[in-house]
Amino acid sequence: MSFVFVDKIIDLIMSVIGWIKRTTIATIAISIEVAIMLWLMFYFFAETLILTLTPTFMRTQKSLKGKVVVLTGGAGGVGQELALRLARADAKVVLWDINEEAMVKVKDNLEKEGHQAYCYTVDVTDRKNVYKNADLVKQEVGVVDILINNAGIVCGNTFLDIPDYMIEKTFQVNILSNYWTVKAFLPDMLRKGKGHIVTRHQTRHHRFPRKFTHRIEDARSSRD
């Protein structure tokens, strides 16, 4: 009986020691993670503060010369301006848009200034079409350095007057398409260890009917 009791005591001690080891290791690991996180927070905060206070003319500007830039929605108003500025910065501008005619006009305007541009008619809501054209860009232009998700649509109707298909279309263009484009180009950026992805938010305003707005205000007043 005494040996059995001793064995149980030994097992209990070993269990306690094992638990202490696991807890200690876990505590150390968490402490290291927290320390790293705090250091990164301090570093990026300090970097942002310094850059904010530094005058623009004193900052080192990133060169876009020779960089392959894919610009979705390149035929639209904002897209045209972005394409022009990128081309003037000597980037290789790759225009993606569903409106081929308007996109060709943008390309012609860039070429009149002596810049080279590439056009691809792409429906960004169709992931297979996105993946196919992404492969074409890599083969014909080169590995993409910068992706700018600029494609988007806005509907100005009141909330209740927006057709259901427009709600679905808006979600497909403004949200889902970004997943397809990022999946198409991010792997190459990770392999290179560098790259940039910019997603321009499409402001979406829903105008509610006046009566509905008044009822909300009345409800707020009654609660107050």
Per-residue pLDDT of the chain (224 residues; tens, 9 = 90+): 555 666 677 777 778 787 888 888 888 989 999 999 999 999 999 988 888 888 877 777 788 999 999 999 999 889 999 999 999 999 999 999 999 999 999 999 999 999 989 999 999 999 999 999 999 999 999 999 999 999 998 877 787 888 999 989 999 999 999 999 999 999 999 999 999 999 987 654 445 455 444 443 444 444 44
Spatial contact of 115 and 95, defined as CB atoms under 8 Å apart: no
Exposed (0-12), middle (13-18) or buried (19+): which is 88, by Cβ within 10 Å? middle
Expressed as residue numbers, the domain containing 124 is: 68-199
Q: Are residues 10 and 118 in the same domain?
A: no
Q: Are residues 105 and 53 in the same domain?
A: no
In-domain check, residue 205: no
Q: How many domains does the chain have?
A: 2
Q: Are residues 108 and 170 in the same domain?
A: yes
In-domain check, residue 207: no
In-domain check, residue 189: yes
Pairing of strands 92-97, 146-149: unpaired
- What's the pTM value of the predicted model, to 2 decimals? 0.68
* 177-182 contact pairs (CB < 8 A, 24+): 177/72, 177/124, 177/125, 177/130, 177/149, 177/151, 178/149, 179/127, 180/124, 180/127, 180/130, 180/131, 181/70, 181/72, 181/124, 181/130, 181/134, 181/147, 181/149, 182/147, 182/149
Q: Are residues 52 and 136 in the same domain?
A: no
Q: Are residues 141 and 97 in the same domain?
A: yes
Q: Are residues 50 and 118 in the same domain?
A: no
Look at residue 124 and give its three-state secondary structure: coil
Spatial contact of 100 and 119, defined as CB atoms under 8 Å apart: yes
Separation between Cα atoms, residue 150 and residue 162, nearest integer Å: 23
Q: For the chain, percent helix, then strand, then coil, each to nearest 5?
A: 60, 10, 25
Give the DSSP letter of residue 176: I
